[in-house]
Chain A
C-alpha cells in the first residue's frame, strides 16, 4: 500500500510539472510569435524557468522514493 501511494504521489508530481512547464512553454511560444527578434533571450529564460519547475517536481519524486 505504501508503495502504491508513493507511485501515486510521483504521478501527481508529474502532473504538476507538466502543467507548469506547459504554461511556460505556451507563453514563450506566444511571445516569440509576437517578437521573433527576441527569440533567443526568451528561449534562455524559458529553459531557466523550466529547470526550476522540474526541480520542484523532482523534490516530490525524491520524497516518493523515501516513502517507498
Chain B
C-alpha cells in the first residue's frame, strides 16, 4: 500500500518527527555496547511474597520514574524503558533505563566511559566503589531515621515518565488544535463541522465567561495564553485519570509543572502591569499611617497569588490520585476478594468526581489567571 500521502499534512509530519525522535533515543541508548553491570540483587531477594506496603505503593504511583510501567512484576515486568540523560563532569551521558534493571535501592551500578552510576529512590548518584549496607552509596541517618545519601549527583535531564507524558500531551494538543485552526481557515464563512463543532463551544466559553468579564476590551491579547493553559491543564488532568498507557502519569500533580504554569502567569501579570497597578501596590488608597502595614502586605500579595495557584492545582490533583489509589489498595490491604465490589464502586464514584475536578481545576486556574491579569491592566475608573 502506498503510504506517502500521510506526509502531505503538517500535523502528521509533526507526529512522525516526534515519533522518530523518541524512537531514536531508545534505539541509540540500547545499542551502546560498552556498559558493564554489577549486581548483587539476585542473591538477596527472598522467595516468599512481601507484605503489601500501601504507603510505598501510593507514593510510587504518584512520583516520577525512569521507566513507564505497563503491567507485570519481577520477571514479567512489561513497560517502556525511557532514556536516561545525565550531564556529568565529563559531558553528556545517555543510556536506556533498562540497565538499572528496575533497581531503586542503589544495588545496581551502570558503568559508562569510566563513570559509575547507581539509582536510589528515583535519584541517580555517582556510585561508590564498595558496598555500604548493601548499596553502592554512602549514607548517613537523618533526624527522623531516614537515610540521607552523601554521594554526588550528576544533573538529571532524563526523559522520565512525566516528561514523556508531557511531550505526548503537547503533541496531541498541537495536532488537535492546529487541525481545528486549519479547518476554520478552510471553511471560512461556513458552519463548523466535525471536531471544530466540539471545540468551538468550549473556546467561546473561555472567551465569554473567563476572558471578557475579567480583561475588558483588551481580552484578545491574552486569549492565546488563557486557552493554552485551560486546555493543557484539562487534558493533562484527564490523562492522569486513565489507568493505562499513555495516561497514568501524574503530570499536573507534579509541583514542578504547576510551578512553571504559575510562574508564567506571574510573569504575564508583572510585565503587563500598568501604572495604576503599581500605584495600587506602592501607594494604596489608605491613610498614610497605614502604609507600613499595607505596602509589605501588598508586596507579599504579589507573590502569594501565583503560589496559591500552584499549590491549589498540585494538591487537588495529587489528593485525587492518592484517594483513588488508596481505595483500590483496600482490596490488597484486606487481602480478600470480597472487598472488591465495594472498593470498585467507591473508586468509580470518586473517579467521576475527579473528572469533574479535572475540569473545575482547569477552569479555576484560568479564571484566576484572567483575574490577576485583569487587575494588572485595569484602567482608572
Name the A residues within 8 Å of B361 (CB-CB).
51
Chain A, 12-47, CB within 8 A of any chain B CB: 44, 47
Q: Which of B209, B311, B319, B360 contacts A51 (CB 8 A)?
A: B360
Q: Are B364 and A48 closer than 8 Å at their CB atoms?
A: yes
B207 → A minimal CB distance (Å) = 16
Q: Which residues of B contact A48 (CB under 8 A)?
A: 364, 367
| Chain B: interface size category | 10 to 19
Nearest to B314 among chain A residues (CB) is A62
Could you tell me which residues of chain B, from 171 to 223, have a CB within 8 Å of some CB in chain A? 209
A44 to B205, CA, bound (A): 13
Expressed in whole angstroms, the minimum distance between the Cβ of B332 and any Cβ of chain A is 21
Chain A residue nearest in CB terms to B356: A47
A20 to chain B, nearest CB (A): 15
CB distance from B62 to the nearest CB of A (A): 11
**A55 CB–B CB distance under 8 Å:** yes
- Indicate which residue in A2, A47, A55 contacts B315 across the interface (CB closer than 8 Å): A55
User: Is there contact, CB below 8 Å, between B311 and A59?
Assistant: yes
Verify if A7 is at the interface (C-beta below 8 Å from B): no
Q: How far is the CA of A2 from the CA of B315 in the complex (A)?
A: 21
In the complex, which residues of chain A have a beta carbon less than 8 angstroms from the beta carbon of B311? 55, 58-59, 62
User: Residues 341-369 of chain B: 1 if any A CB is under 8 Å from the residue's CB, otherwise 0?
Assistant: 00000000000000000001100100100
A21 to chain B, nearest CB (A): 13
B315 touches A51 (CB 8 A): no
Judged by DSSP, the binding face of A is helix
A61-B315, A61-B319 are contacts. A55–B360 as well, Cβ < 8 Å? no
Cα A61 to Cα B312 with chains together (Å): 11
CB of B11 within 8 Å of the partner chain: no
Chain A residues lying within 8 Å of B319, measured Cβ to Cβ, are 58, 61
Q: Which of B144, B209, B315, B360 contacts A59 (CB 8 A)?
A: B315
Q: Is the CB of B316 within 8 A of A55?
A: yes
Please name all residues of chain B whose beta carbon is closer than 8 Å to the beta carbon of A47 when the two chains form the complex.
360
Q: Which residues of A contact B316 (CB under 8 A)?
A: 54-55, 58
**Chain A min CB distance to B362 (Å):** 11
Residue of A nearest to B359 (CB): A47
Residues in B with CB closer than 8 Å to A2 are 144
B308 at interface, CB cutoff 8 A? yes
Bound state CA distance, A55 and B144, in angstroms?
Answer: 29
A35 to chain B, nearest CB (A): 20
Closest to B361 in A: A51
Residue in chain A with minimal CB distance to B364: A51
Known: A55-B308, A58-B319, A59-B315. 18 other contacts (CB 8 A): A2-B144, A44-B209, A48-B364, A48-B367, A51-B361, A54-B316, A55-B311, A55-B315, A55-B316, A58-B312, A58-B315, A58-B316, A59-B308, A59-B311, A61-B315, A61-B319, A62-B314, A62-B315
12 A-B pairs, CB-CB below 8 angstroms? A47-B360, A48-B364, A48-B367, A52-B364, A54-B316, A55-B316, A58-B311, A58-B319, A59-B308, A59-B311, A59-B315, A62-B311
Using a CB–CB distance below 8 Å, which chain B residues touch chain A?
Answer: 144, 209, 308, 311-312, 314-316, 319, 360-361, 364, 367
Q: What are the 8 closest A-B residue pairs judged by CB atoms, nearest first?
A: A58-B315, A55-B312, A51-B364, A62-B315, A51-B360, A59-B311, A47-B360, A58-B316
